[in-house]
Amino acid sequence: MRYLMLACVLVASSLLSGCGYNAIQSKDEGVKAAWSEVLNQYQRRADLVPNLVNTVKGYATHEEEVFTKVTEARAKVGQMNLTADDLTDENKVKAFQQAQGELSSALSRLMVVSENYPQLKADGLFQNLQAQLEGTENRVTVARNRFIQSTQDYNTFVRQFPQNLTAMMFGYKAKANFSVENEKQISTAPTVDFSKPAPPQPAPQQQPAQPQPEPAH
């Protein structure tokens, strides 16, 4: 009896392996791990925002609209709670990506404003935050790329026969992925560089002098 049970277990394991169950489970765990790293890096970026805004505020007191947009974008990101179990919901993934994109745009605008304040660029705290932000943006890009690749690999596998039958039997669904309009944009981190001076503003063009009327004779 004992040997019969062992034989049944071995046969069942062989069948599951042949149908791709083990590979599906492994690829699913890979997607979850990649997603966890995406969340970690985005959180690191969000954690930098308050100190970054407060530091810039100390020098750029007339940029309240920019500060408000950054703060609001960070608050919206903080309201997003997208777990690995939610990755099958395309709408939730799109909403998450949009919120992170809005924060990226707001931070880019803040960086442009910072270029106009030389004393801010020379501030030690600001330089430290700049270095942290640059490093975090690079890690975000790497984490996103890994998630995209692992999700593509998983989705391709579970849609093929006979793995699609195994996936359907055990509830493994295809997952939503990040959508990008420009593939180069996703593989290249945004440039955060305050070592270069801001480009000079073009001088206003002078209007040509109007010809003087000749005196009447």
Instruction: Express each pLDDT in 90-114 by its tens digit.
Output: 999 999 999 999 999 999 999 999 9
DSSP the chain: -HHHHHHHHHHHHHHHHHTTHHHHHHHHHHHHHHHHHHHHHHHHHHHHHHHHHHHHHTT-TT-HHHHHHHHHHHHHHHT----GGGGG-HHHHHHHHHHHHHHHHHHHHHHHHHTT-HHHHT-HHHHHHHHHHHHHHHHHHHHHHHHHHHHHHHHHHHTSTTHHHHHHHHT---------S-HHHHHSPPP---SSPPPPPPPPPPPPPPPPPPPP-
**Domains in the chain with CATH codes:** 30-187 (1.20.1440.20)
Instruction: Express each pLDDT in 10-40 by its tens digit.
Output: 334 444 445 689 999 999 999 999 999 999 9
